[in-house]
Every structure is written in structure tokens, then in C-alpha cells.
Amino acid sequence: MLGFLRKPKKRICVIGLDGVPYSLLRVLAADGTMPAMAELCAQGHLQPMKVTLPEISAVSWTSFMTGAGPGTHGIFGFIDLKPGSKETRFPSFRDVQVPTLWDRLGQKSKKSVVINQPSTYPARPIQGVLVSGFVALDLRKAVFPARLLPDLKRLNYETDIDTQRAREDHDYLIQSLHSTLEGQRSLVDLLWDREEWDYFQVVTTGTDRVQHYLWNAIADTTHPYHTVVRQYYRAVDRFIAEIVERYRQKAGREQGLTGLFLLSDHGFTAIKREFNLNAWLRQEGYQRLEQATEPTLQNLSPDSRAFALDPSRIYFNRKDRFRDGCVETAEVGNLTEEMSSQLLALRNEGEPVVREVFRCADIYSGPCVPHGPDLIVLTYSGYDTKGNLVKNDLFTETDLQGMHTWDDAFFWAGESVDGDLMITDLATRFERFLS
């Protein structure tokens, strides 16, 4: 007797490679460093993707996981202002104002396993498993459900490398990149079949770290770390290959690789100079630091009309926002125009620095827009915008080698996506796939 043929369960698997640019991935796939990626490119579609501004992981990953921009999810940077104040704070997962993709899938009784997702600390309950990524401090608060904690300890799982030590000691960087990748591999191995899931996601952040500290070593064959950096990308490629193979087996022949997706949260490029926004504001007369005080935002002179927060956010010292503000609401329009034209005219060694200046209200929408900055500065490739208050030079050197870009993230899928792809488009696409 013929039984009923059960349709295989639809599943999604997402691999996140933090900070890997589309342009670099194409090179590494083509030159043999990442053969599994090359195979995926042949079988599916690798395409560039834009991300929300500012192009940093805290914002980008939150935009990815909520399918919304900062005006809706409320995360504008790794650092933000306390309401009505110039005191700063570090937003956490609790500050995300809208449900994540996994929350929404959970409402439809779909289970998720999410490993090393940046900007989800402290972990909160989801239908399934969540292991927070950067800036997870304490593993006990980075894991839901708590029953997984002994497993993670047993696997010597680490949420991140010691970034300070890695910046100074590149041998340590390379060694710890491999050990954290190994931890992620072991966790995938443990949870893949043990947990029930409809959506499985793992993010590796080592790619971002190596690009910050050793970007030049990727292309420069004479660089002392060239070989070991390439070996790391090979290890990442093997990691991808293992997951792809697992997925093929789990999803079954009918589904193929249609539910497999890869992405990064921003691109990367080489740093030429850091561009210090607060130094520029002071030079142009928009900001003054009180003499003989510690240079903090609270110690700005009351007649300061603007200040900047990392990486590229300008806030007007508005009367309707800050107790000691001095900018009238009616002045905002003129101030925006004046400041934008000055920034666009800025040159360093004859070359333009600022590509565009966006008004927050023009690029964001949603209830959190009033909590965001007034302007976002987008620079040309190589100028890394900073909100450092102490530095007085407009352009400074740095030992960091790589900086983020907003229009060179990547997305890989079995099928191509028409038109410009934005990181906020993905959550809805995944939900639709599973519905």
C-alpha cells in the first residue's frame, strides 16, 4: 500500500561573515582561496548589498535581524546618548524596539538556532536557542536557554577574541581567530541535529577582526602575515563547506540549496586616514571645549552648536533636545545646509573627503527618528570618520588597516534578487520562505 508522502520540512540556514566585502569575496573565490565559495558562486548568485547607516555591526546586524532601519529599531551605534542628556551609554539588546526575525518566527511556532549573533546581548528567550555575539561579556548572560551553558563551557566556546590584545599581537590574533572559529564549528556540530529547528544561523566575526588589523596582508603577497591570513580565509571556507554539506543532507534533494543564504553586515576597505569630526566642528567654529576641563560631551561650551558621536553622527545642540542646548528649532534647516556644503567642500591633499551628508529624517523613518542624530556623514573610501573629542588634527594616522563600507556587503542565495538589495530586505524574504 502506498503511504502518504510527507513533504520535507522547509528550513533556512544562514551563514554570516562579519564585514566580508562582496569585492573581496569574489577575489577569494576566484583565486582558489575559498573553493567552497567558488562552487556556491557557480551554483547560485553572489551579489553586492547595501546596509543601513552608520555602517557598523551594531546597526547593520540589528537592521538585518529586525528587517527595519534605525528609525524603527532604535539602534544608531555602539554608543548612544541618555535621553535628553549628553551623557553616553551603551545600548544593549534590550534597547531594540521591535521584534527580531526569530521572535516573529517563534510566534508562528517556528524554531530557530542562532549562534554568535552580534548585538543580541544579553540573550533573551526565543523559540529555540540564542547564543549572543559581540559585545557579549558574560557567557552566562549570553545564552538562552540556560541548559546550554554547560555544553558551551565543555566546548571552551568563546564569544570573541581579546580585541585589545589582538590589535597589539597579531600572532595572538591569528591563533585566536582559529580557536573561536573552532568553537563555532563545535557548537554547530552539537546543535545541528540535537535541536529542533526551522531556521539555523551562525555568524563568524573573526573576518571583521582580521580585516581591521591585517587588511593589507590579504592582497600584499610580501606582507609577513599574508600566508596565515589567507589560511584563515581557507578555514572559513571549510567551515562554510561543512555547513553547506550538512544543509544539503538535512534539507533533502527537493529543497536543494534554496533555503541556504550567506551574507555580511558591511563591506571593508583600506584606511588612508581617520577623519576627526569633532576636530572639524571645532575648526569651523561649531564647537568649543571648556578650557581646563576633561574633554567630554558634558564639558562642551554651552555655545557649542554641534558635536559628533562615533562613527559619523552629528548632533545639533538643540534647545528642544538638550537642557543646555543653544540651537533653536528654526535654525536647524540653515545649519544643516551650511554644515553640509562645508563638509562636501572639504579637501585633504587635494582630494574630496565627504561623499554625502544625510539628514536623519531623510534616510530613516519610524518612531525612533527623534532619538537619532541630525546628520550622518558618508565619506569617500579610505577616510574613516571618528567622533574622538580629544584629537585636534582633522586627519590622523592609525595602526588599524581596514574600515567599514556601506555599499559593498554581500548576499549569496540560490536565486538572484532583482534591483538594489538592502540588508533590511532579508528578514521578510526569510519569513516568506518559511511560511
Partner 1 sequence: MMTQGFTLWFTGLSGSGKTTLSREMEGVLLERGMKVELLDGDVVRTNLSKGLGFSKGDRDTNILRIGFVCNLLTRNDVVAIAAAISPYEEIRQKNRQLIGRYVEVYCKCPLDILEERDVKGLYKKARLGEIKNFTGVSDPYEEPSNPEVIVETDKETVEQCVAKITRTLELLGYIPVIGNGAEYSAEEEEEIKRRLKALGYI
Q: Does 98 bind partner 1 (CB under 8 A)?
A: no
d(CA 33, CA 219): 12
Give the cell for residue 92. 544593549
d(CA 303, CA 286): 8
Shortest gap between Cβ of 347 and partner 1 (angstroms)?
24
Q: Does 371 bind partner 1 (CB under 8 A)?
A: no
Choose, by CB under 8 A, the member of 122, 256, 295, 382 that binds partner 1: 122
Q: How far apart are the first and last CA of the chain?
A: 31
d(CA 40, CA 414): 8
Residue 228 vs residues 38, 71, 99, 159, 212: alpha-carbon distances, Å: 20, 41, 40, 22, 15
Shortest gap between Cβ of 117 and partner 1 (angstroms)?
16
Q: Which of 78, 96, 100 is nearest to 313 (CA)?
A: 78
Choose, by CB under 8 A, the member of 12, 24, 166, 188 that binds partner 1: 166
Q: Does 90 bind partner 1 (CB under 8 A)?
A: yes
Q: Does 311 bind partner 1 (CB under 8 A)?
A: yes
Q: Does 386 bind partner 1 (CB under 8 A)?
A: yes
* 199 versus 430: smaller Cβ distance to partner 1: 199
With contacts defined by CB under 8 A, name the span among 136-144, 177-185, 338-346, 424-432 that binds partner 1. Answer: 136-144
Q: Does 190 bind partner 1 (CB under 8 A)?
A: no
* 237 versus 384: smaller Cβ distance to partner 1: 384
With contacts defined by CB under 8 A, name the span among 4-12, 41-49, 160-168, 249-257 that binds partner 1. Answer: 160-168
* Beta strand residue intervals within 44-151, DSSP E: 45-49, 80-81, 88-89, 112-117, 128-132, 143-144
Q: Are 406 and 420 in contact (CB under 8 A)?
A: no
Q: Are 33 and 234 in contact (CB under 8 A)?
A: yes
Choose, by CB under 8 A, the member of 9, 89, 108, 194 that binds partner 1: 89
Q: Cell numbers 566546548 label which residue?
A: 155
Q: Are 282 and 301 in contact (CB under 8 A)?
A: no
- 169-188 burial: b if 16+ Cβ within 10 Å, else e: ebeebbebbeebbbbbbbbb
Q: Does 167 bind partner 1 (CB under 8 A)?
A: yes
Q: Cell numbers 544579553 label which residue?
A: 122
Q: Does 139 bind partner 1 (CB under 8 A)?
A: no
Site for partner 1 in 207-266 (CB under 8 A): 208-209, 212
With contacts defined by CB under 8 A, name the span among 66-74, 112-120, 158-166, 262-270 that binds partner 1. Answer: 158-166
d(CA 291, CA 152): 51
Choose, by CB under 8 A, the member of 140, 154, 194, 355 that binds partner 1: 140
Site size with partner 1, rule: CB under 8 A = 37
* 95 versus 425: smaller Cβ distance to partner 1: 95
Q: Are 245 and 432 in contact (CB under 8 A)?
A: no
Q: Does 137 bind partner 1 (CB under 8 A)?
A: yes
Q: Cell numbers 555544553 label which residue?
A: 151
- Counted residue by residue, the chain has a size of 435
Give the cell for residue 74. 532604535
* 110 versus 185: smaller Cβ distance to partner 1: 110
Q: Does 160 bind partner 1 (CB under 8 A)?
A: yes
Cis peptide before 54 (omega within 30 of 0): yes
With contacts defined by CB under 8 A, name the span among 40-48, 66-74, 238-246, 397-405 that binds partner 1. Answer: 397-405
Binding mask 44-83 for partner 1 (x = CB under 8 A): ------------x---------------------xx----
Q: How would DSSP label each residue in 170-207?
A: HHHHHHHHHHHHHHHHHHHHHHHHHS--SEEEEEE-HH
Shortest gap between Cβ of 149 and partner 1 (angstroms)?
8
Q: Does 384 bind partner 1 (CB under 8 A)?
A: yes
Shortest gap between Cβ of 127 and partner 1 (angstroms)?
10
Q: Does 142 bind partner 1 (CB under 8 A)?
A: no
Q: Cell numbers 555547513 label which residue?
A: 243
Interface residues with partner 1 (CB under 8 A) are: 56, 78-79, 89-90, 92, 94-95, 122, 124-125, 134-135, 137, 140-141, 145-147, 149, 160, 163-164, 166-167, 208-209, 212, 274, 310-311, 384, 386-387, 398, 400, 403
